[in-house]
Amino acid sequence: MIQGIISILIILLLAPMFAGLVNKLKAIFTGRIGAPTIQPYYDLKRLLRKETINADSSSFISAISPVINFVSVVIAAAMLPIGLARPVISFEGDIILFAYVLGLARFFQILAAMDIGSSFEGMGAARETTFAVFAEPIFFFTLGSIAFMSGLTSIYDIYHSIRLDNVTYIIFIIVCSTSAFILAVTECSRMPVDDPNTHLELTMIHEVMILDNSGIDLFLYQYSSYIKLFIYAILETSFFYPFGVKSYTVGIIIFVVVIAVLSITLAVVETITSRFKMKNIPQYLLFATAIGILNLLIYTFTK
């Protein structure tokens, strides 16, 4: 329990740092100095002290959505293990709750975007909805496949059932981390699905949905999107734990290393690719789903 609480605190504290790290690396790769790694903290602090401005046409949805969004993302984060620590929320079937709690966050995010009644937000909301529909299967094909094969339904147990025994494990890691990476990119609106740094409303997905938010509302949205990115990073790191079974220190080291590798990968991908055409994104996501199925077949045939 104590370990779990420490884990969730780590997630809450380090989440903005991870986003800052990715941005910093990206700046370095593109030959800029870039903002400091802890820039997201400054941003959050600044937002906290700003006045909140809501659109004229907004309703109570706009007021509660950032809150629900934040709380559900934190609850989802509390289900993830860091290292060997058992998360705060861990029970049989939490893998389903994890996916659906993030669904709750998305439901209100979309509603809040549509609450403004502006077509910019509408555009973002429509895109978010479409891509989310195709992102859902990816999650089930990566983490769910292990759940079905091992018969375990708690995220913590699922990860700890992965055993480093043969060469298929290496293939398995490659496949899982690829599809988890694509999932992370989609869910967290990074390149090549979405460009978080664009300055044209027509090309955005996540950013345009929170276009008309400010102050504490924007704080909550931004913070939850940092946490969300970190959540998917943790999903990724957990595939590597079998390397350090039964040792807390090794677990932590693996965690740090994988996070570092992942941030470099994200930065590299964002540097060398450009955003896809919107209509090609579903194909990209179906590709990730197909990889997930591959993973499943590997698992089936080696059993």
Partner 1 sequence: MNLFFFALAIQILPTIIIGFLPDNRKASVVTHFLLVAGLILGFSSSFNALVFSNTTQHNISIFGIPNSLFRFDALALYFLCIIQLVAIPISIYSYSYFKYYIERGKSVRSTLVFYTLLLVSTQLLVSANHSIVFLIFWEVMSISAYLGMIFEKEKKEVQTGSFYYFVMNHIVVYLLFVFFFLLHHQTKSWLFSDFHISPEAGKIFIISYALSLIAFGMKAGFMPFHFWLPRAHPIAPTVFSAFLSGIIIKTGIYGILRTFQFLNPTPEWLGWLVLAVSMISAIFGVWYALAQHDIKKLLAYHSVENIGIIGIGIGIGFIGSAYHSLPIQVLGFGGALLHTLNHAIFKSLLFIGSGVISQNLGTRNIELMGGLVHRGKYFVMLFLIGSIAISGIPPLNGFISEFIIYNGFFVTAKELKNYYPLVMLISAVGLAFVGGLAVACFTKINSIMFLGSERKEVKHFNISFYEYVSLGILAFLCVVIGFYPQPFIGIVNKVLNNGFVPVSSSSALLSINWFYISLIFGIIFLGVLFVYFWKRAIQNKYGRRTSAAWGCGYENVNPRMQYTASSFADELNEISKSVLVYHKNIKPSKKIFPAEASFESHSEDLVDNKFVLNGFRNFSSMISKIEFLSHTDIRYYISFILIILTIYGLIAFLWN
> Taking CB under 8 A as the rule, does residue 41 contact partner 1?
no
Q: How far apart are CA 83 and CA 80, in angstroms?
A: 10
Count of other CB atoms within 10 angstroms of residue 195: 19
Q: Mark the segment that binds partner 1 (CB under 8 A) among 110-118, 166-174, 243-251, 258-266.
A: 110-118
CB 89 within 8 A of CB 243: no
CA 22 to chain CA mean position, Å: 13
Residue 261 CB, nearest approach to partner 1 (Å):
28
Q: Using CB under 8 A, which residues numbered 237 to 256 contact partner 1? A: none
Give the containing element (helix H, strand E) for 206. helix 206-209
Q: Which of 184, 285 has the CB closer to partner 1?
A: 285
Q: Left (φ > 0), alpha (ψ -120 to 50) or beta: where does 162 sit?
A: beta
Q: Mark the segment that binds partner 1 (CB under 8 A) among 2-10, 120-128, 190-198, 261-269.
A: 120-128
Tell which one of 3, 37, 130, 198 touches partner 1 (CB under 8 A): 130
Q: Which of 184, 267 has the CB closer to partner 1?
A: 184
Closest by CA position to 13, among listed 223, 253, 267: 223
Write down the residue that tokens 């989609």 correspond to: 186
Residue 246 CB, nearest approach to partner 1 (Å):
26
Q: How far apart are CA 272 and CA 285, in angstroms?
A: 19
Residue 193 CB, nearest approach to partner 1 (Å):
14
Q: Using CB under 8 A, which residues numbered 186 to 215 contact partner 1? A: 201, 211-212, 215
Site string for partner 1, 274-293 (x = CB under 8 A): ----xx--x-----------
